[in-house]
Amino acid sequence: MQWLQLIVGSTRDASSAIEDALLELGAVSVTLEDAADQPILEPGVGETPLWDNCTIKALFPNDTDTTQTTVQLEQLISRPLQSSWQQLEDKDWSQEWKKYFSPMKCGERLWICPSWIEPPDASGINLSLDPGLAFGTGSHPTTHLCLRWLDKQDLAGQTVIDYGCGSGILGIAALLLGAEKVIAVDNDPQALLATRDNAERNNIAAERISTYLPEELPADTVGQTMLANILAAPLIELAPKLTALTASNGLICLSGLLEHQITAVSQPYLGNFAFDDPAIETEWAQLAARKTALS
């Protein structure tokens, strides 16, 4: 099926009204993109921030009257717009996103491979991944830093906790790298579903990976290695819980923080952990430490 796309330039303040108007005029989808390469690195809790300048792209059926729609849009928002129409070639748009993912090596042994691509190294440790609706493809620096750290660890026989598991990528990598069992925790049921699906895709026996919402995690849970790739604020808030879930002399890997947040994130852990030097990739940081005290 052929489609028409309307591209509209907008400020942040005007974007909501334009989006509503486009949907009212029959757009089947509306996408907002950054128009000026302005990063949004870590939104506050409950915030859905936008860029100062946005490009809004609206998808319309091919028989749309473009002139009339443009006039009606400007009438609905009561001002002229910078806009243009373009014809989109016929594609399977449900599959188009897959072209942005390719196999990626993380460390010496581990490869992250999209489920629709053959692994490039048959002798390597290959994790087949379908991102689905959960965060975690290995391409983001925070995940990549954790995977490279995992690739260096001796996980044989360990129970590993993946707190904030997303797609399950870290926990599944731990199992493929020798861990005995993984306990995956996330407050999003969709993430737990994605984790179970990806574990099955990698031929992980169901009894080797357990998934829990945070409030359902058994009270006696403990792991020899703790993985938490979330954000700085929850890493600070969850410090007592993550500390308690980590076995004495166990390891903890924290990521999802920016380089300037290292001190603030590590501070609540210092009484129980001895930290290694941080690993940095672009603005992002990963912290690793060994637990030195009982708590």
> How far apart, in whole angstroms, are the C-alpha atoms of residue 120 and residue 114?
11
CB neighbours of 97 closer than 8 A, spacing ≥ 6? none
Residue 14 exposed, middle or buried by CB count within 10 Å (0-12, 13-18, 19+): middle
Q: Is 92 annotated as a binding residue?
A: no
Q: Is 186 annotated as a binding residue?
A: yes
Number of residues written out for the chain: 295
* Parallel/antiparallel/unpaired status of strands 181-185 and 209-212: parallel
The angle formed by the CA atoms of residues 7, 9 and 10, to the nearest 5 degrees, is 130
Tokens of 270: 């210092």
Q: Is 143 annotated as a binding residue?
A: yes
| Tally of CB atoms within 10 A around 36 | 9
Nearest of 155, 147, 162 to residue 108 by alpha carbon: 147
CB neighbours of 218 closer than 8 A, spacing ≥ 6? 212
Q: Is 168 annotated as a binding residue?
A: no
> How far apart, in whole angstroms, are the C-alpha atoms of residue 224 and residue 290?
10
- Cα-trace Rg, the chain: 23
- What is the H or E stretch that residue 72 is in? helix 66-77
Sign of the C-alpha dihedral computed for residues 269, 231, 192 and 113 taken in this order: negative
Annotated binding site: 143, 164, 186, 229
Annotated binding site for S-adenosyl-L-methionine: 143, 164, 186, 229
